């Protein structure tokens, strides 16, 4: 068990039931240490987004405890501890790329010169230098998602929450953005919680994979990913990579089988 005192995220027996009667999360216990890259994986509807939203203070838990950097999630949000990236880049069409990235900095009251310098750095990081004056609709899906990553990272958040950020992208773009994300993660030293339904993506990116099962959403298993850092093209060819992919797949099947009353054969439908 990781020490609770220095956890970035500390969750004990957390439950979330919606007013519709759906119990999206039940008895979640999770400790996330500084600098970890955690993936949440599980069948559709198992509560991945809900868990991410609870951590990000966008959804209130029904019971249990949650601390972020030793504070309430609400205080963490007030303190700008989070950068959040959703599946669809939520960009403002009337703002240029540059002004989309600088939005949080404007809200934080940074002066113009400091904002400009940071935006330049961030666009360089996601390889969008030269697109400062473009509008979001002039960019491809992958480029838009890179803008939203640049924006989420612009104010150096301690905790980056990402909900299937590359889910809508083609495989090639996704693999390239995976590499970029790891490069950014190494450089920034931030902690990442990443939702995906891709097993190879979860294994490739993470230091630890949290496997969830559905109805109600629980943590079925957590798997330490002991692949060498930094990860690269050769990681995907490592025998250990395939072992871990299998391990995650089996944990998903076991979790699903339990939740569905033993109908584990239907797990193929999910992926
Ligand atoms: P996932 O991201 O793993 O696909 P979600 O966290 O979106 O799953 O949803 C988990 C469960 O909670 C689902 O049954 C979903 O219908 C339900 N749910 C999610 N958000 C709400 C909401 N705002 N109101 C009612 N039910 C919700
Ligand atoms: Mg979701």
Residues 76-122: tens digit of each pLDDT: 999 999 999 988 878 999 999 999 999 999 999 999 999 999 999 99
CB burial readout 151-160, b (16+ within 10 A) else e = bbbbbebbbb
For the CA of 59, the closest atom of ligand 1 is 23
Total domains in the fold of the chain: 1
- Could you tell me the pTM of the whole model? 0.89
- Rounded to whole angstroms, the Cα distance separating 250 from 242 reads 12
For ligand 1, atom 25, the nearest C-alpha belongs to 18
| Residue 59 maps to a domain | yes
In this structure, which ligand is nearest to the CA of 167? 2
| Residue 190 maps to a domain | no
Q: Is 25 in the pocket of ligand 1 (CB under 6 A)?
A: no
**Higher-pLDDT residue of 194, 257:** 194
| Residue 230 maps to a domain | yes
Instruction: For 32, list phi and psi in degrees, rounded to 5.
Output: -120, 120
| Residue 129 maps to a domain | no
Give residue-wise pLDDT tens across range 221-251: 999 999 999 999 999 999 999 999 999 999 9
| Residue 150 maps to a domain | no
Confidence grade of residue 3 (pLDDT, cut at 50, 70, 90): very low
pLDDT beyond 90 at 1? no
pLDDT beyond 90 at 169? no
| Residue 25 maps to a domain | yes
Residue 18 belongs to domain with CATH number: 3.40.50
| Residue 127 maps to a domain | no
CA 81 and chain centroid, separation: 14
Q: Tell me which residue range forms the domain holding 31.
A: 1-81+207-261
| Residue 201 maps to a domain | no
- Rounded to whole angstroms, the Cα distance separating 65 from 63 reads 7
For the CA of 217, the closest atom of ligand 1 is 10
For ligand 1, atom 22, the nearest C-alpha belongs to 18
Q: How far is the CA of 214 from the centre of ligand 1 (A)?
A: 11
For ligand 1, atom 27, the nearest C-alpha belongs to 18
Q: What is the pLDDT of residue 258?
A: 53
């Amino acid at each position: 068990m990781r020490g609770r005192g220095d956890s970035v995220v500390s969750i004990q027996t957390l439950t979330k039931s919606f007013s519709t009667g759906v119990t999206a999360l039940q008895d979640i216990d999770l400790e996330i240490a500084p600098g970890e890259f955690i993936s949440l994986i599980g069948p559709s509807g198992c509560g991945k987004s809900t868990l991410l939203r609870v951590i990000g203070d966008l959804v209130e838990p029904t019971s249990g405890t949650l601390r972020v950097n030793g504070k309430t999630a609400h205080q963490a949000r007030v303190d700008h501890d989070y950068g959040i990236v959703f599946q669809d880049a939520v960009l403002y069409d009337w703002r240029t790329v540059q002004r989309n990235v600088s939005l949080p900095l404007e809200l934080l009251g940074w002066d113009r010169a400091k904002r400009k310098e940071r935006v330049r750095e961030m666009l360089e990081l996601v390889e969008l230098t030269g697109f400062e004056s473009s509008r979001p609709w002039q960019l491809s899906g992958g480029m838009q998602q890179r803008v939203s990553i640049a924006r989420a990272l612009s104010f150096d958040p301690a905790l980056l929450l990402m909900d299937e950020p590359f889910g809508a992208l083609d495989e090639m773009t996704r693999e390239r953005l995976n590499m970029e994300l790891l490069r950014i993660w190494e450089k920034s030293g931030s902690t990442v919680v990443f939702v995906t339904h891709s097993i190879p993506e979860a294994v490739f990116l993470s230091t630890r994979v949290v496997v969830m099962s559905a109805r109600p959403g629980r943590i079925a298993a957590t798997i330490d990913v002991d692949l060498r850092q930094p990860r690269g093209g050769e990681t995907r060819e490592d025998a250990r990579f395939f072992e871990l992919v299998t391990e995650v797949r089996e944990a998903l099947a076991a979790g699903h089988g339990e939740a569905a009353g033993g109908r584990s054969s239907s797990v193929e439908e999910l992926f």
